[in-house]
A and B are shown apart, each in its own frame.
Chain A
Amino acid sequence: MDSAPTNRVATGAPTGLPPTSTITLVINGKPTKLDLAPWTTLLDALREYAHLTGTKKGCDHGQCGACTVLVDGRRINSCLTLAIMKDGASVTTIEGLAENGVLHPLQQAFLDHDAFQCGYCTPGQICSAIGLMHEGRAHTSDEIRELMSGNICRCGAYVNIVAAIEQVMEAAKGSVKP
């Protein structure tokens, strides 16, 4: 069954909603056209329109970090970003990290260190950690903790999350590709 989302805001529709716009996001290297209302957040665009549900909706208010993705290489909260404002941008999500079936070093390190319990915050934690390494500002475990404070883990796996990030930073000397 074709379950493509229907455009429910056609011109003249009784809802009176403004028309949608077609935008292009380069999602995990793949140019993707999406037809979106202006209020669609990048998070909802990824999950509901591009069908990439790896990026999680936690608080939906920029407080938990579960929705963290990389836009043009920088980590941001996709829940507080309007997709239409990012027309033309490159977006990297958790689905785009493995290459040819090989996990990204941070994904592997999270497994090695048991850096999650329920796993809900994990895609955001990993995307955030990649952003952190790009930024190159964290050199100690205290600095990792400070610069990862935008990602909440309610299972409390913080100790192992920091250990996983430290392992990859040590191996990569702070230059990990997304």
Chain B
Amino acid sequence: MNSFSYTRAADVAAAVREVAADGAAFIAGGTNLIDLMKENVSKPSRLVDITRLPLNRIEELADGGLRLGALVTNSDTAYHALVERRYPILSRAILAGASAQLRNMATNGGNLLQRTRCYYFYDVATPCNKRDPGAGCSAINGFNRIHAILGTSDQCIAVHPSDMCVALAALEAVIHVTGKDGDRTIPFAEFHRLPGDTPQIDTNLAKDEIITSIDLPAKGFADHYAYLKVRDRASYAFALVSVAAALDMDGDTIRETRLALGGVAHKPWRNPDAEAMLNGITATRDHFEAVAETIVRGAHGFGHNTFKIELARRAVIRALQHAVRMGKSA
């Protein structure tokens, strides 16, 4: 780890001011950043501790939504009574990730900002365009079992590792941020980026901006949802493929579909055209197969990860079936 100086931010304005300095970075839960610092992947010269800022509450919104403070831990979010009741897909997704200890430390804002677990990004002895732009990508022709099949570029095939973000994508959460020029909101779909030719930039958050909350719209899809995570171990492993499926149903007829995939792309993956195929449709396997085919149509494997194309196709169908059935067996 490189040497760094440390300061504790007194308020949001001070935090934004402090982090604007060269080499400065925020630290909250630290579960990803400290690990990256130990590996010399991240080398901030100054850490701005934001853990004592008043962004640690979960509050109901006037429009029926729910505001998740950026500094609420993943555990407190997953186990919050209103999240469990109204947004169970989010609770399930969070609890599918990491370990109990890590979820006790990790914050909601930090979960969005965690970096890929690409082996080569972590190994400073190998070239990586995300870590060192222009150096080359070791994964494209290397061992790429965990890598992306959708939205890749010839610069980077890393995946975003979060489970929580897959559910937030399906729920169409809105990110509230504060910067030196004031506040703004970012729709979830526009928060994370595809790698393109700037894989070093994971999100559209500016360096001197801080996430203050993640707002959930009123619609929580609590009656018909599934979070299906496929991984190499039964617990405590990143997703090979995960699917958040949320349905609004009237009897057997689907009114609205939300589908987000994890483990397949540089950001939680959605395909609005595929989702729209189910509008007004009776929920049957044939329809789900067509949706799954549409989602993987443009997918491309790199050898070790090519199995993910068929895995994603099947996981979409399975997740949709689970989401439909849960209402009937309740």
Contact = CB atoms under 8 A, between A and B. Distances in A.
Interface of A: 16-18, 21, 37-39, 41, 60-62, 65, 68, 74-77, 80-82, 84-85, 128, 131-132, 135, 137, 145-151
A76 B235 contact: no
Interface in B130-181: none
Interface majority SS (helix, strand, loop, mixed), chain B: mixed
25 contacts: A18-B5, A37-B3, A38-B5, A39-B4, A60-B38, A62-B35, A65-B99, A75-B100, A76-B101, A77-B101, A80-B30, A80-B31, A80-B34, A82-B30, A82-B47, A84-B6, A84-B49, A132-B100, A147-B100, A148-B100, A149-B100, A149-B236, A150-B100, A150-B102, A150-B236
B104 interface: yes
A65 B105 contact: no
A38 to B, nearest CB: 4
Given A17-B3, A62-B35, 8 more contacts: A18-B5, A39-B4, A74-B75, A77-B101, A77-B102, A82-B27, A84-B6, A135-B100
A45 B41 CA distance: 23
Contacts of A148: 100
Contacts of A38: 4-6, 47
Contact of A128 (B1, B38, B75, B100): B100
Nearest to A136: B79
B242 interface: no
B212 interface: no
A131 B100 contact: yes
A39 B30 contact: no
Given A21-B6, A62-B35, A75 B101 contact: yes
B257 interface: no
Interface in B70-113: 75, 79, 98-102, 104-105
B51 interface: yes
Q: How large is the interface on B (under 10, 10 to 19, 20 to 34, 35 or more residues)?
A: 20 to 34
Contacts of B105: 76-77, 80-81
A148 B236 CA distance: 10
Contacts of B101: 62, 65, 68, 75-77, 128, 131, 150
A26 to B, nearest CB: 17
Contacts of B98: 150
A76 B104 contact: yes
A85 B71 CA distance: 14
Interface string B16-39: 000000000001001100110110
A85 B31 contact: no
Nearest to B233: A149
B111 to A, nearest CB: 14
Contacts of A81: 30, 34, 105
B48 to A, nearest CB: 11
Contacts of A147: 100
A68 B99 CA distance: 11
Contacts of A41: 34
B3 A85 contact: no
A82 to B, nearest CB: 6
Interface centre among B4, B37, B51 (most CB of A within 10 A): B4
B30 A75 contact: no
A74 B106 CA distance: 13
B256 to A, nearest CB: 31
Interface centre among A16, A80, A81 (most CB of B within 10 A): A80
Contacts of A131: 100-101, 104
B121 to A, nearest CB: 15
A74 B235 CA distance: 20
B35 A61 contact: yes
A150 B31 contact: no
Contact of A85 (B49, B102, B234): B49
Given A61-B35, A81-B105, A85-B49, A137 B6 contact: no
A148 B99 CA distance: 8
Contacts of B79: 135, 137
A85 B236 contact: no
